A and B are shown apart, each in its own frame.
Chain A
Amino acid sequence: MRTNADCVIIGGGIIGAAVAYYLAKGGMTNCVLLESEYLSSGATGRCGGGIRQQWSTEPNAQLAMDSVRIFKTIEEELDADIEFLQGGYLVLAYTDEDVEQFHKNFELQRRLGLDVEILQPEEIASRVVKQVNTDGVRMATYCPTDASANPFLATKAYAQAAVRLGVEIELFTPVTRILREGNRIVGVETERGIINTPRVVNAAGSHSVPLARTVDVEIPITPYRREILVTEPLERFFDPMIISFSFGIYFRQVKHGSVIGGFAYADEAPGFNEESSIDFLTMMSRKLSFLMPALKHVKVVRQWAGLYDVTPDAQPIIGETDGVDGFFQANGFSGHGFMIAPKVSSLLSQLILGQKPDLDIDRLNARRFSEGDVDLDHSVV
């Protein structure tokens, strides 16, 4: 393990891997990525892999759209298959609030140039997917360029490309403490020794909170369990991710043919609990077989849970920490970190490399919380 590095990245999820790659690509190759278990062992490997551009605030939509642009060529750039598929997102509206919000979103997204459209319930079957039960559906929005990818493959692709450029990745190496002298970072301590470094990227998902505390920094992230399940594989029969905010549900058919999806309990207690529950299994099965009745014959083969690292405004915390030079946050993705990972990671690396980011991300600095400047996105599942 290197003992001196220009930057240490903590966390081998999609964010840590992508940041490592973009840093090395930008010329900072003496980086070390430390992961306490294996790549994608955190939220990344547990996520749905959905890539949605239909957001209700401009910055989020912009980040997602820019990320899709990167995703489209990333397989070539990284020389790896990540099962990227532009199968679209079908978003179902059930309530008055849904309908009102959907129209607002539609206006905003169209203004940004997104190819989103409004569908009437009876158009869904002929235009997008035959098997959806439209009972109770008031309207839907559909964006054919929304996408999905395999999070394991994407993380691995970024990580391997980073290694090819000179980055060192150490697995099963938890960081026990970040080291600080006065107002600057000087290194990290691991179970296998110390690495001296002037820069640390805290990309440890929900575990970023206890890590930041080792240098007396508080970040406003609350972990929440989110459950998810996968069925046996079937021949491919639908392409889009299907979601509904009022059901809190999302599901899609992955390349292998399995249907993968989850929903969020509104009353989930905060904490690091990652156990699977029977409640989720039964409720998710009911919801799925309501929304797509043909699925009632399909067997669930696995269920699991992961953590959402939720911030007060459901937007990530990106940027250098005020008062601690060299301490960069890349966490708090609040359940949508996979889809924006390419753009956010590239922007953060520009910041670390001392370049001017090509999109404003200063608004994502943690200082927004002390300044009371928060803008809640209504499109979180």
Chain B
Amino acid sequence: MRLTQHPILEFDRGREIEFEFDGRKLLGFEGESIAAALHANGIRVFRESIKRKRPRGFFCAIGRCSSCLMTVDGIPNIMTCVTPLKEDMKVETQRGKGAILLTESFSPGSRPTEARRGAKDVATVSLAIVGAGPAGLSAAAYAGRMGVETIVIDENDVPGGQLIKQTHMFFGSREHYAQIRGIDIGDELIANLSGLPVKLMLGTTVLGLYPDRTLSLLANRRHIELRADAVILATGASENMLAFENCDLPGVYGAGAVQTLMNVHGVVPGKRVLMVGAGNIGLIVAYQLLQAGVDVAAVIDAAPEVGGYHVHAAKIRRAGVPILTSHTVQRVTGPDRVESAEICRVDDHWQPVPGSERTLSVDTVCLAVGLTPNCELAFQMGCRETYVAELGGPVAAHDPDLETSISGVFIAGDASGIEEASTAMIEGRLAGLAAAELLCREVDREELKRLRSEATSSLKTLRAGPFGATAREGKRKMFKVGS
């Protein structure tokens, strides 16, 4: 179902167009994701799993998992959650591994040579930043301000990272963008770049990071090589999955996915939702669901206490939604999509309490059970890997300047440990400044020092108090190991 009215958002939809799904004609809007268009038409099953032929829908909605792969215009394994819809597209449910077109025409004449390509084929830049979320954009602003020629690369067509779907007001001080909605912070971060030697390269995925800091980029199906003197990885995080019976059934979605569907595409995920996870993300998305007119059956969390801010929890409770702590989801049921969810209480050891099972009639289960840093590029390049549970699991080791074990490769924001947009922005700043120090021979040392200590003390403030305890502990462990 599509949202037509929303208390905060106005949906600026493209042209209404026709496309084909398994031979049927459907309507959608040009440029929205294929997954959103299908969802708006009530279609939840996108493919069959390879081995057990189970129905699958989408899960992450940001091109991270492979749940939504379909055959589009004859090409299999297309990520429909990030592929824009076009007129007359032929979208097909993918069964099995997908087969490639056997009728592909040959391209005579252009026989590739043996030669290694020379330097002329490679673009260069001083600083390459991967990810145009809050961390990447802040890094660009500060590196640019110090005079560093910078390119920010993001796979999305719109900059802002996760902020582009965050309709709620942020907390904290003005300096940290409190009382501003996430969607507006993104615009402000972009505005900060004007007049600086910073270029944005959108709709471009970084496929790999090679020795000599050479990036492999894919833009509009063209491959580009970019060599940088320094790289900042601000690639954000991916949503965690939770294992329970039938957890792969269409209708079990990540919280970020629900947010994307609802706040970016204006499509609601279902009629009645069970939210799993009472941290800030779970609470905020539950509230946004209510704002969009979706019924929230309950917010549950296995922990004995609500993890998110109490203000968020209070808003949910006021709307009549129960928050059940010490509860987990056991299974979901339905033939090819969620029709109900069974929840139960857990004891002090997080074990299900027999006899406490309850069945909720819901068509959507939203998982807000944490995130894992996106460090693949760092690991591919050979940056040292460590495991710090408090930061979200496997992370690239880094020092307080956010430099990894490889000189000139920095990591910032959620990619360096799961926190928040506010800390991501400050980490980005620090990484940008550290890169500037490395790259510029004639940098204003005094100014650099001042900006750095300002940022360091901001981070300290942000990580102070009980809500910053986990991140504080995580970073403490990280800096003890060293990069």
A:257-298 near B, CB below 8 Å: 257, 265-267, 275-279, 281-283, 285-287, 290, 293-298
| A357 interface contact, C-beta 8 A | no
Contact in complex: B75, A278 (CB < 8 Å): no
| A232 interface contact, C-beta 8 A | yes
Contact in complex: B109, A234 (CB < 8 Å): no
Instruction: Tell which of B76, B104, B210 touches A277, judged by Cβ atoms closer than 8 Å.
Output: B210
Contact in complex: A234, B98 (CB < 8 Å): yes
Determine chain A's interface SS by DSSP, over half rule: loop
B102: which A residues are within 8 A, CB to CB? 130-131, 237, 294
Contact in complex: B116, A299 (CB < 8 Å): no
| A133 interface contact, C-beta 8 A | yes
| A144 interface contact, C-beta 8 A | no
A:283-322 near B, CB below 8 Å: 283, 285-287, 290, 293-299
Contact in complex: A282, B223 (CB < 8 Å): yes
A297: which B residues are within 8 A, CB to CB? 75, 100-101
Contact in complex: A294, B101 (CB < 8 Å): yes
| Residue in chain B with minimal CB distance to A136 | B111
| B208 interface contact, C-beta 8 A | yes
| B173 interface contact, C-beta 8 A | no
| A248 interface contact, C-beta 8 A | yes
B107: which A residues are within 8 A, CB to CB? 133, 135, 290, 293
| Residue in chain A with minimal CB distance to B121 | A282
| Residue in chain B with minimal CB distance to A285 | B223
Contact in complex: A281, B114 (CB < 8 Å): no
Chain A 146-186 per-residue mask, 1 if CB under 8 angstroms from chain B, else 0: 00000000000000000000000000000000000000000
| B195 interface contact, C-beta 8 A | no
Contact in complex: B116, A281 (CB < 8 Å): no
| B407 interface contact, C-beta 8 A | no
Contact in complex: B116, A278 (CB < 8 Å): no
| B405 interface contact, C-beta 8 A | no
| Residue in chain B with minimal CB distance to A293 | B104
B75: which A residues are within 8 A, CB to CB? 297
Contact in complex: B99, A266 (CB < 8 Å): no
B:64-103 near A, CB below 8 Å: 75-77, 96-102
Instruction: Tell which of B109, B111, B210 touches A276, judged by Cβ atoms closer than 8 Å.
Output: B210
B50: which A residues are within 8 A, CB to CB? 233
Instruction: Tell which of A136, A257, A282, A287 touches B225, judged by Cβ atoms closer than 8 Å.
Output: A282
B208: which A residues are within 8 A, CB to CB? 278, 281
Q: Report, as a range, how many residues of chain A touch the other chain.
A: 35 or more
Q: Bound complex: CA of A267 vs CA of B117, how far in Å? A: 13
Contact in complex: A293, B77 (CB < 8 Å): no
Instruction: Tell which of A265, A275, A287, A298 touches B100, judged by Cβ atoms closer than 8 Å.
Output: A298
Whether A265 contacts B116 in the complex (CB less than 8 A), given A235-B97, A257-B97, A290-B110, comes out as yes
B96: which A residues are within 8 A, CB to CB? 235
Whether A133 contacts B106 in the complex (CB less than 8 A), given A294-B100, A294-B101, comes out as yes
Q: Bound complex: CA of A257 vs CA of B51, how far in Å? A: 13
A276: which B residues are within 8 A, CB to CB? 210
Q: Chain A's nearest CB lies how many Å from the CB of B90? A: 14
Q: Chain B's nearest CB lies how many Å from the CB of A46? A: 16
| Residue in chain B with minimal CB distance to A267 | B116
Contact in complex: B100, A237 (CB < 8 Å): yes
Instruction: Tell which of A232, A281, A296 touches B216, judged by Cβ atoms closer than 8 Å.
Output: A281
Q: Bound complex: CA of A129 vs CA of B208, how far in Å? A: 32
Contact in complex: A234, B210 (CB < 8 Å): no
Q: Chain A's nearest CB lies how many Å from the CB of B226? A: 10
Contact in complex: A290, B112 (CB < 8 Å): yes
Contact in complex: B77, A299 (CB < 8 Å): yes
B:231-255 near A, CB below 8 Å: none
A130: which B residues are within 8 A, CB to CB? 102
Q: Chain A's nearest CB lies how many Å from the CB of B94? A: 10
Q: Chain A's nearest CB lies how many Å from the CB of B106? A: 4
Contact in complex: A293, B106 (CB < 8 Å): yes
Q: Bound complex: CA of A285 vs CA of B116, how far in Å? A: 13
B77: which A residues are within 8 A, CB to CB? 232, 298-299
Instruction: Tell which of B97, B114, B214, B225 touches A233, judged by Cβ atoms closer than 8 Å.
Output: B97
Q: Bound complex: CA of A272 vs CA of B102, how far in Å? A: 40
Instruction: Tell which of B105, B106, B117 touches A282, judged by Cβ atoms closer than 8 Å.
Output: B117
| Residue in chain B with minimal CB distance to A290 | B112
| B23 interface contact, C-beta 8 A | no
A:69-110 near B, CB below 8 Å: none
B114: which A residues are within 8 A, CB to CB? 248, 265-266
A285: which B residues are within 8 A, CB to CB? 223
Q: Chain A's nearest CB lies how many Å from the CB of B121? A: 9
A266: which B residues are within 8 A, CB to CB? 114
Q: Bound complex: CA of A35 vs CA of B50, how far in Å? A: 35
Q: Bound complex: CA of A294 vs CA of B105, how far in Å? A: 8
A293: which B residues are within 8 A, CB to CB? 104-107
| Residue in chain A with minimal CB distance to B77 | A232
A287: which B residues are within 8 A, CB to CB? 112
Contact in complex: A294, B104 (CB < 8 Å): yes
| B355 interface contact, C-beta 8 A | no
Q: Bound complex: CA of A233 vs CA of B50, how far in Å? A: 10
B214: which A residues are within 8 A, CB to CB? 278
| B335 interface contact, C-beta 8 A | no
B:183-213 near A, CB below 8 Å: 208, 210-211
Contact in complex: B225, A234 (CB < 8 Å): no
Contact in complex: A234, B99 (CB < 8 Å): yes
Instruction: Tell which of B97, B109, B223 touches A135, judged by Cβ atoms closer than 8 Å.
Output: B109
Q: Chain B's nearest CB lies how many Å from the CB of A271? A: 14
Q: Which 10 A-B pairs have the closest CB atoms?
A: A135-B108, A294-B104, A286-B112, A133-B106, A235-B99, A278-B210, A294-B100, A297-B75, A293-B104, A233-B97
Please give 10 more A-B residue pairs, beta carbons under 8 A apart, in addition to A130-B102, A298-B100.
A131-B102, A133-B107, A233-B50, A234-B97, A276-B210, A278-B214, A278-B216, A283-B117, A290-B110, A294-B101
Residues of A near any B CB (own CB < 8 A): 130-131, 133-136, 232-235, 237, 247-248, 257, 265-267, 275-279, 281-283, 285-287, 290, 293-299
**Can you offer 21 A-B residue contacts whose CB atoms are under 8 A?**
A131-B104, A133-B107, A135-B107, A234-B76, A234-B98, A237-B100, A247-B112, A266-B114, A267-B116, A276-B210, A278-B225, A281-B216, A283-B112, A283-B117, A290-B107, A293-B104, A293-B105, A294-B102, A294-B104, A297-B75, A298-B77
